[in-house]
Amino acid sequence: MTGVNFYRVRRTLGVWIPVIVLMFVVIAPFYWIFTGSIKAPQEIIQRVPTLFPQSFTLQHYDKLFSSSDFPQYLLNSTIVAALTMIVTLLLATPAAYSLYRLRFPGRDLIFKVILVTYAFPGILLLIPLYTMLTHIHLVDTLWALVIINVTFASPFAVWLMEAFFKAVPHELEEAAALDGADRATILARVMLPLIAPGLGSIAIYAFITSWTEYMFASVVIISDVNRTVPVGLAGIIGQYQVDWGLLLAGATITTLPVLMLFALVGRHFVEGLTAGAVK
């Protein structure tokens, strides 16, 4: 008996407390934002904060949707993120295949060069990129953001694919080759199903990278109809005055779509990353 109890206590201390602390650190701020967004304005900024809402109102959401273009911002962010995701997949997957499955001179160097692109400060690129986008008439279009986001997402995405490509045994490919399949068929029939979880992970990674981008979107997008969520949200803060309820409602709504996305595919992101391991 005592042995079991001891085991339980140890297990509680060793497993559950760390898990609870961890989840608290990550999730508590979101609880605070969400409950804030349904409190009456007076309660939000009250000197003694209330851990549980004492009032309930949807007025902030009502205002958010009636007087701002938030649905438009959400749509724009979704379009940009989806396109970023597609282009990243199209660029990163072949590159990863090449870097991790084929052998050719300079391969290692190319891989390192791709990673090292992160060495250049975004701010450094901001102005020349803006000028360049102007020349090709892409300023104030969603494509401009796609172009930039793909640049930031794809190098890391290439690397995320490493584990998957390396996990596919060469024998499989060789066996298929012995059966007379050409390389394209091998890729489509043998490789693709095996790396699919990985593709899922980098798709989500690219989506999130795009969804959270702020700096470029704030400069490259001029008109309200093309604004993305982070920039739209920053606009609510406004000069001279802050409507805290509106801001918290905006923050909640900004979080919600990625939350839903993650509820649906989050498992695949994490499992996808680990799947490379399970040979």
Partner 1 sequence: MRAKAGAFTIALIIGMLFMAWGPVSAQEDVVEIVFWHMEQPPHRVERIQQLIDEFNEAHPNIHVSQEPQNWAEIYAKAPAAVAAGNAPDLLFAIPDFTPIIRQVGAVQPVDDFVAEMDEAHGFFPSAVEPYTYDGHVWAVPLWNMAHSLWYHVDMFEEAGIEPPETWDEWLAAVEALTDEEAGVYGIGLPANRHLYTDQTVYDFMINAGAFELYNEDGTLRFDNPDTVEALDFYSQLYQYSPPDSPNWTWGEAEACFVSRTCAMILQFTVIKSYEDQGEGDPENLGVIPIPHAADLEESGTIAYPNAVMLLTDDPDKQEAAYEWLRFLLEPENYGRFLNMEPGLFLPVTEDGSEAESYWSDPLVVEYEAQIRVMLENSQNGMLFGFTGGNIFPSIAQISAQNLLAQTLQRVVIDGEAPADAVAWGQEQMIEAIEAAEE
Partner 2 sequence: MRQTGKVKTMRTGWNSQALLGYLLVAPLLLWLAGTILYPLMAAINLSFQNVGIIGTGGQYIGLENYSKVLGSGKFWDAFKRSLVWVIGNGLFQTVAAFATALILKQRFSGRGIARVWVILSWIVPTVVVVIIWRWMLGTSGGIVNYLLVALGITPEPVAFFGSPNTAMISVMLINSWRWFPLMAVILLASMQNIPQELYEAAAVDGASPFQRFLNVTLPGLQPVLFVMGLVGTLWSFNVFDVIWLLTGGGPSSGTTTLPVYIYEMAFKKYRLSRAAAASVLVGLFLLLFAVLFIRFMAPKGEEEGE
Site for partner 2 in 175-194 (CB under 8 A): 177-178, 180, 183
Of the ranges 53-61, 64-72, 151-159, 188-196, which one interacts with partner 2 (CB under 8 A)? Answer: 151-159
The radius of gyration of the chain's CA atoms, rounded to the nearest angstrom, is 24
Q: Which of 263, 189, 225 shows the shortest CA–CA distance to 70?
A: 225
Question: Residue type at 181?
Answer: A
Sole binder of partner 2 in the list 7, 10, 46, 55 (CB under 8 A): 46
Q: Which does 72 bind (CB under 5 to 8 A by kind): partner 1, partner 2, none?
A: none
146 scored as a contact of partner 2 (CB under 8 A): no
Which positions from 35 to 74 touch partner 1 by CB under 8 A, shown as an x/- string?
A: ------xx-xxxxx--------------xx--xx------
- Axis crossing angle, helix 142-160 with helix 192-212, rounded to the nearest 10: 130
In the complex, the smallest distance separating the C-beta of residue 90 from partner 2, rounded to whole angstroms, is: 8
In the complex, the smallest distance separating the C-beta of residue 184 from partner 1, rounded to whole angstroms, is: 5
Residues in region 103-142 near partner 2 by CB under 8 A? 103-105, 107, 110, 112-125, 127-129, 131-132
Q: Which does 197 bind (CB under 5 to 8 A by kind): partner 1, partner 2, none?
A: none
- Axis crossing angle, helix 70-101 with helix 59-67, rounded to the nearest 10: 80
230 scored as a contact of partner 2 (CB under 8 A): yes
Q: Which does 78 bind (CB under 5 to 8 A by kind): partner 1, partner 2, none?
A: none
In the complex, the smallest distance separating the C-beta of residue 248 from partner 1, rounded to whole angstroms, is: 12
Q: Which does 13 bind (CB under 5 to 8 A by kind): partner 2, partner 1, none?
A: none
Q: Which residues lie closer than 8 Å to 69 by C-beta, 6 or more apart? A: 224, 225, 227, 232
140 scored as a contact of partner 1 (CB under 8 A): yes
Tokens 């005055």, located at residue: 241
Of the ranges 2-10, 11-19, 194-202, 229-237, which one interacts with partner 1 (CB under 8 A)? Answer: 229-237
CA 18, 20, 25 angle in degrees (round to 5)? 95
The whole-angstrom separation of Cα 135 and Cα 133 is 5
The whole-angstrom separation of Cα 38 and Cα 44 is 9
Residues of this chain that interact with partner 1 (CB under 8 A) are 41-42, 44-48, 63-64, 67-68, 87, 90-91, 93-94, 127, 130-131, 134, 136-141, 143, 147, 184, 187-188, 192, 218-219, 222-224, 231, 234-246
